[in-house]
């Protein structure tokens, strides 16, 4: 019995030790990522912060052949984004786009459409207030 335990522990000892160290490193990496809600690689890049931009205009995508006066209410929104401090310092409100796609809509009053947000690479969209706009499309003459 003792011979069996000795064989079990000391046979391929360095391989077993390497596997144990690797398992501990993986466990630490995963537990760190869960607690911080960010990968350890991203943590090396710089601190992650949130920033809110106000009065971002809502842009309308509409059929190019149609030149009717389409309106959305509200016409400006508040957008919260998350990213590295250095990226957000260089971010201008013009780099964030709030878009409502109205292609294929002939006439509407009281229609509510969701706002789609586009941000630059490395910047994550968190929240838009309000998340929908009321669309007013006058009928064709």
- What confidence category does residue 65 fall into, taking pLDDT thresholds of 50, 70 and 90? low
Question: Mind listing the pLDDT tens digit for each residue in 34-48?
Answer: 776 555 555 555 678
Rounded to whole angstroms, how far apart are CA atoms 77 and 137? 20
How is 89-104 classified by DSSP, letter by letter?
Answer: HS--GGGSEEEEE-TT
Distances (CA, A) of 50 to 9, 42, 47, 88, 91: 51, 15, 10, 8, 12
Domain 46-137 top-level CATH class: mainly beta
What's the whole-number mean pLDDT along residues 52-57? 90
Query: What's the pLDDT score for residue 36?
Result: 64
Q: Tokens 């090396």 identify what position?
A: 44
What's the whole-number mean pLDDT along residues 6-15? 84
Question: Mind listing the pLDDT tens digit for each residue in 72-104?
Answer: 888 899 999 988 888 888 888 888 999 988 777
Q: What pTM did the predictor assign?
A: 0.59
Query: What's the pLDDT score for residue 66?
Result: 56
Query: What's the pLDDT score for residue 20?
Result: 93
How much is the mean pLDDT over the chain? 81
CA-nearest of 56, 41, 40 to 125 is 56
Domain boundaries defined on the chain: 2-42, 46-137
Q: Please say whether the beta carbons of 79 and 103 come within 8 A.
A: no
Q: Which residues of 117-138 are buried (b: 16+ CB within 10 A; e: fewer)?
A: bebeeebebeebeeeebebebe
Rounded to whole angstroms, how far apart are CA atoms 76 and 65? 25
What's the whole-number mean pLDDT along residues 22-33? 88
Q: Which residues pair with 83 in a beta bridge?
A: 49
- What confidence category does residue 22 fall into, taking pLDDT thresholds of 50, 70 and 90? very high
């Amino acid at each position: 019995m003792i011979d069996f335990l000795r064989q079990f522990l000391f046979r391929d000892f360095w391989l077993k030790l390497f596997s144990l160290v690797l398992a501990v490193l993986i466990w630490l990496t995963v537990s760190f990522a869960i607690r911080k809600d960010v990968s350890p690689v991203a943590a090396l890049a710089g601190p992650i912060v949130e920033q809110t931009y106000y009065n971002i205009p809502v842009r309308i995508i509409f059929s190019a052949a149609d030149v009717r006066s389409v309106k959305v209410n509200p016409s400006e929104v508040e957008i919260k984004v998350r990213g590295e401090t250095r990226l957000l310092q260089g971010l201008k409100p013009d780099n964030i786009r709030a878009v409502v796609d109205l292609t294929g809509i002939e006439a509407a009053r009281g229609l509510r459409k969701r706002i789609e947000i586009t941000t630059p690479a490395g910047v994550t969209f968190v929240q838009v207030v309000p998340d929908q706009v009321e669309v007013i499309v006058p009928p064709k003459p």
